[in-house]
Chains A and B, each alone.
Chain A
Amino acid sequence: DAGVIQSPRHEVTEMGQEVTLRCKPISGHNSLFWYRQTMMRGLELLIYFNNNVPIDDSGMPEDRFSAKMPNASFSTLKIQPSEPRDSAVYFCASTPRTAVVTEAFFGQGTRLTVV
């Protein structure tokens, strides 16, 4: 398996534009997590899905952020409208089981810059 695949790797956009980040988890993994990493706050959980269902979105900063998982092999994180303070690296991770604690597999991240 190619691992968790995120796209794009880098995104530069103007303030006010819509941004969509994409993630393909490892095939067969049941849980998918979106994280944000900034210099000030480090890594933070934004939202996670179990079996395509959003379980906890309390980490989503505000209504401008939304995430979907229409099927087991694809998830999106959307920011609309984007703001400069959204600049960060966004990671997607997946794990193989929901009931047992397991190792997490991270994508390479999407570096977002909002100017």
Chain B
Amino acid sequence: KNEVEQSPQNLTAQEGEFITINCSYSVGISALHWLQQHPGGGIVSLFMLSSGKKKHGRLIATINIQEKHSSLHITASHPRDSAVYICAAANTGNQFYFGTGTSLTVIP
């Protein structure tokens, strides 16, 4: 069993739609990270959160520590949001346990 489970694995949306990607984890964590990986492979850190909610532009990340669950939301999705989104649970040593990623395609 993976320590971090993401859903859905693949997601196709029309431009403008509201998107939600879910992440559940079974390990004890110090923080939950959301990463973005574009075609071409570079990985960028979007959010690091240990409680509550964070917002950056059209992206919102939430976490429920008790339920060991986090969500990444994208409002007013755009084709440039097309990427793989990866959830990663980090322990106190900054070791990451990765989800398998959600491949998002936003169609114009």
- A residues bordering B, Cβ < 8 Å? 31, 33, 35, 42-45, 48, 50, 55-56, 89, 91, 93, 95, 98-99, 101-106, 108-109, 111
- B residues bordering A, Cβ < 8 Å? 30-31, 33, 35, 41-45, 48, 50, 86, 88, 90, 92-96, 98-101
Contact B42 A106 (CB under 8 A): yes
Give which listed residue, B41, B45, B95, contacts A103 with CB less than 8 A: B45
Chain B min CB distance to A113 (Å): 13
Contact A91 B99 (CB under 8 A): no
Contact A89 B41 (CB under 8 A): yes
Contact A108 B48 (CB under 8 A): no
Chain B min CB distance to A74 (Å): 20
Query: What are 20 A-to-B residue pairs whose CB atoms are below 8 Å?
Result: A35-B96, A42-B100, A43-B96, A45-B96, A50-B93, A56-B93, A56-B95, A99-B92, A101-B31, A101-B50, A102-B94, A103-B48, A104-B45, A104-B96, A105-B45, A106-B42, A106-B44, A106-B45, A109-B41, A111-B41
